[in-house]
Copies of this chain bind each other. A is one copy, B any other.
Amino acid sequence: MFGVTILGNNSAVPAYDRHPTAQVVTVNEQVILIDCGEGTQMQIAKYKIKRSRINHILISHLHGDHYFGLMGLITSMGLMGRENELHVYAPEPLKAIIDLQLKAASTTLPYPLHFHVLGAEGMVTENKKFSIESFHTKHRVECWGFVIREKKQPRKIVKDHVLKYEIPAVYYERLKNGDDYETKDGSIIKNELLTIANTAPKSYAYSADTIYDEGLVEKVKNVSLLYHETTYLKDLHKRAAERFHSTTAQAADIAVKANVNKLIIGHFSSKYDSLDVFLEEAKEVFENTELGIEGVTYKL
């Protein structure tokens, strides 16, 4: 499963039971947390996310609505007996903020916390299940977006064909990786006769907080799912620009230009009680848009 669960869809000040930004991305059984606004550990509990599965946390920028829940989460993980290492990727000043608060509490975490400074665009981390790349977004402070890609899926065995050619089962794993099969008499059976390609690997782009920026298009080009903030409706495009945020129409415009498959919008301003208009306005420009609703998982 590759999916994104929204834990907080509101901007700055929490309102109408909407929470500040946090999302979990599940990819090949791995759970990545993106941003961690105040109350994220409660949202994780509410929506039954397995916090022990979270091994990677990405923090886009150091406005409080994107990270004030981090200290609570990492200390609670410690109190609950976590031993596995945790990787946090964030702008550099967060390191000192974490250390100072652990020191003030005379607390030593019972697990290794590895802090990785986001320093240049490109690959952040990579393993057999997924890769994470970072890119700059244009906001009032240093701010990062991320692209998470699942690793290429192994090829699928065609059962009738492997039986027909009498391929030993012990060889199936190598077939999935694309190897040909060599029979005892030395003849080669081409992999294409035994397997079919799996679905193409999917990708999720989180563009964090950003002013409307066409530079983003190249960075999120062709992703399966794009999350783009829409703090304001389109009539407030001036205010959006002043505050380095985007509107519905602008988010949808990026989705069109980047040729993404689907768009999720979020980071709604507390001035709006109802979210329906956000969806309407975005759909006028990019039809395959959904509101980012807390507790909902959007599958890729």
A residues contacting B by CB (< 8 A) are 12-15, 19-20, 38-39, 41-42, 45, 62-65, 68-69, 71-72, 75-76, 79-80, 91, 93-94, 96-97, 100-101, 103-106, 140-141
The docked-state distance in angstroms from the alpha carbon of A80 to that of B65 is 14
The docked-state distance in angstroms from the alpha carbon of A3 to that of B65 is 31
Are the C-beta atoms of A64 and B12 separated by less than 8 Å?
A: no
Q: Determine the chain B residues whose CB is within 8 A of the CB of A19 once the complex forms.
A: 42
Are the C-beta atoms of B141 and A79 separated by less than 8 Å?
A: no
Q: Number of copies of this chain in the oligomer?
A: 2
Beyond A13-B41, A14-B76, A38-B69: 12 further Cβ-contacts under 8 Å?
A13-B76, A14-B45, A15-B45, A38-B38, A38-B41, A39-B39, A62-B105, A64-B75, A64-B105, A94-B104, A100-B100, A106-B141
The docked-state distance in angstroms from the alpha carbon of A64 to that of B109 is 13
Beyond A12-B76, A13-B80, A79-B13, whether A104 also contacts B62 by CB under 8 A is yes
The docked-state distance in angstroms from the alpha carbon of A71 to that of B39 is 12
